[in-house]
Amino acid sequence: MAFNYEQYLRPGKLPHIWCPGCGHGIVLKGLLRAMDACHLDKDRTAVVSGIGCASRLPGYVDFNTLHTAHGRAAAFATGIKLARPEMTVLVVGGDGDGVAIGGNHFIHACRRNIDMTYVLCNNYIYGMTGGQFSPCTPMGDKASTTPYGNPDPTFDIAKLAIGAGATFVARTTAFHATQIDKLIAEGIRHKGMSVIEVLDDCPTAFGRRNKFRSVVEMMKRFKETAVPAATAAKMSAEELQGKIVTGILHREERPEYCEQYQQVIDRARGA
């Protein structure tokens, strides 16, 4: 039966601003299904973003929503969560926002292991400003600011998050629609910093410049190159060249930041 997205969408806000075929809408729907599966209380849930196409997501959803400045979402979210640990805090944003201008806030939120769920839509490009390369644009690919091919190496966001200390890290793609909500729901249920990277398609600013004839072709590329983590574990580095490892990539239990700070309060009060 049709999923009732309307119960979580603010009335009158659709159609959204995203381009035809943009995967952000698919991520938004996955996010809402995940929030539904976790029975989140709208009043006690905050959805925070930075700047960019993906960061427009909070405007559509009926929660406490905060569209902050470029790159700052994780830091605003940290303030919300620490001030009100009883709230569920989600962050949504893109690759440029999250790991370029917001990279410092991102890694330190991971390091603190503060209980929030960061859904990072990685579409390899700055879409809103018209297609400049991001730290996730593959080497050699074209962007408006890499007209001769991108000379910059890329970030592996999942490895970055794991290295920085996030305790739940997962990856999927805009093609794997049902996996999006399952992984986000796992992330929400996980106590600590959860990072879910969704490899996303930007047909307008990335696809057209990089010889993708259609959004469907971009989706099929995700389908063909995705390898589940369990399968990837049995593959060699050569075999994994050009593949996208999907699923839960890392999960550990480690003290959560707000709980640690509660201990600070207890010590300060001499408990």
Partner 1 sequence: MSSPRLEIIERYCKGCSICVEFCPTHVLEMDGFLATVVRPEACIGCMQCELRCPDFAIKVYKE
Partner 2 sequence: MAKKVALLQGNEASAYGALYAGCRFFGGYPITPSTEVAEVMAVELPKVGGKFIQMEDEIGAMASILGASLTGAKVLTASSGPGMSLKQELIGYACIAEIPCVIVNVMRGGPSTGMPTGPSQSDIMQARWGTHGDHPTIALVPASCQEIFTETVRAFNLAEIYRMPVQVLLDEINGHMRERIELPEPGELEVLDRAAPSVPPEQYLPFDPSVGDVPPLAAFGSGYRFHVTGLNKAPDGFPTTRAELVDAEERRQLRKIEAARDLIEKNEEYLLDDAEVAVIAFGTISRSARHAVNALREQGIKAGLFRPITLWPFPERRVAELAKQVKGMLVPEMNLGQLVLEVERVVKGACSVSSLTRVDGEPITPDQIMEQIREVC
- State the residues that interact with partner 1 by CB under 8 A: 1-3, 5, 9, 14-16, 18-26, 29, 177-178, 203, 214-216, 219
Q: What x-and-dash track marks residues 41-60 binding partner 2 by CB under 8 A?
A: -xxx-x-x--x------xx-
Q: Counting contacts by CB under 8 A, is residue 76 touching partner 2? A: yes
Q: Which of 80, 227, 229, 232: binder of partner 2 (CB under 8 A)?
A: 80
Residues with Cβ within 8 Å of 82's Cβ and at least 6 positions away in sequence, in order, are 114, 257, 258, 261
Q: Counting contacts by CB under 8 A, is residue 264 touching partner 2? A: yes
In which residue are the tokens 């809402």 written?
A: 32
E strands in 79-223: 88-94, 116-122, 125-126, 132-133, 168-173, 193-199
Encoded amino acid at 140, one letter: G
Q: Counting contacts by CB under 8 A, is residue 39 touching partner 2? A: no
Nearer to partner 1 among residue 170 and residue 218 (C-beta):
218
Please report how close the Cβ of residue 18 comes to partner 2 at its closest, in angstroms: 15
Quick one: what does residue 78 bind among partner 2, partner 1, none, with the CB cut-off 5 to 8 Å set by partner type? partner 2
Cα radius of gyration rounded to whole Å, the chain: 18
Residues with Cβ within 8 Å of 2's Cβ and at least 6 positions away in sequence, in order, are none
Please report how close the Cβ of residue 32 comes to partner 2 at its closest, in angstroms: 15
Strands 168-173 and 125-126: unpaired
Residues with Cβ within 8 Å of 229's Cβ and at least 6 positions away in sequence, in order, are 245, 246, 247, 248, 249
Q: Which residues bind partner 2 (CB under 8 A)?
A: 10, 13, 42-44, 46, 48, 51, 58-59, 62-69, 72, 75-84, 86-87, 104-105, 107-108, 261, 264-265, 267-269
